[in-house]
Chains A and B, each alone.
Chain A
Amino acid sequence: MNNRNTTDRDPMFDVLRTEMGRLGAPRGVEKELLQAFAQLHPPKRRWYHALAARPFALAGGLAGVAAGALVLAFAVRAPHPVGDGHAGALVSLDGNGVFIALDSAERIAAEPAPRMVAADVPRTSLAALGMPLTPENAGDSVRAEMLVAADGQPLALRVSALQ
């Protein structure tokens, strides 16, 4: 049932309605409410924050621990070509850049038969080693050369090319 009937409104309220029509709550009220809203709804984390924080945290963390403890910007003794000739070619491609040690210098030096292998490594895995990471390239991988022990343990790494 709609009892709305504007014809029986008292005309003496017209002037009051007109006069009060310009009134509103002070601006400070809106400001305080919006501040309260901002506190209740803090900005959401972007998807790449979660990406970096979760699935790759373990890989990045492990590499970071090893590298963080042993980050030595030293030039690893140029690895010997191991017979297939590809490792040597990769080294020359990178201009004999520095390697990042992933294990102790003693362990690397004591390795009797290191091998050089090339691999595509997710860029996010290298974030902890200083690899620049943006939302656009987070899904990319980079070409890296890895010095690997005879038992498959990675000893050192360097980036040879970006894909």
Chain B
Amino acid sequence: MTTTAPDTDLLRQMRGGAADAFAALYRRHQGPLYRFALLRCGSADTAADVVQETFMGLLTDRFRFDPLRGQLQHFLFGVARNLILKSETARQRHVVLGGPDGDDDGKDDLPDDAACPLARLLDNEAAEEVRRALALLAPHYRDAVILYEMHELSYAEIADICQVDIGTVRSRLSRGRAALAKRLAGWRATAGAA
């Protein structure tokens, strides 16, 4: 079932008890949300959990969406990101990290995936290599790069989702891209030689 009804109409119907409106909202937004969570945390299971918890929060109004403050999709991205950050924080309490922290190139800030983010997820070699390079970025760079490059959001939209100012988004994006290019340079050389 596909519908062209705006999100706000579907939300209103959903709050009135229309299951098909909720299903339509879910089907419209689950894909981008799942892909964002998958790239962000590198684990299909965690990404599925994040999607489920995000929509459950929407369903129960635990995460209250205000249409006057932006689009539903951006709101969902924001909720998913917060859930991922929360799970990272919870897990880091149980992990003893060694070595200095604060290295801005993200080497020490490895992705938050308990199920090995570097395990192969994609069949396409080039796509998988980009994904792995992305997984090795620091989380705050990864947010900006994923939302900008994969979901084609604007700086302002990313700033809204990540709750930072536009300048910070621009800076994170720039550094994230540079780190990615550095990581992929070796692979590109190898692939080119082959």
Q: List residues of A whose CB falls within 8 A of some B CB.
A: 1-4, 6, 9-10, 12-13, 15-21, 23-26, 28-30, 32-34, 36-38, 40-41, 44
Contacts and interface: CB of A to CB of B under 8 A. Distances in A.
Interface of A is mostly: helix
Contact of A29 (B30, B60, B166): B30
28 contacts: A3-B155, A9-B148, A12-B180, A13-B149, A13-B150, A15-B124, A15-B127, A15-B130, A16-B131, A19-B122, A20-B127, A23-B31, A23-B34, A23-B35, A24-B30, A24-B31, A25-B51, A26-B44, A29-B52, A30-B23, A33-B52, A36-B56, A36-B59, A37-B19, A37-B22, A37-B59, A40-B60, A41-B17
A53 B59 CA distance: 31
Contacts, number: 101
B160 to A, nearest CB: 12
Contacts of A36: 56, 59
Interface in B98-155: 122-124, 126-128, 130-131, 134, 148-150, 152-155
Nearest to B124: A19
A6 to B, nearest CB: 6
Interface residues of B, number: 43
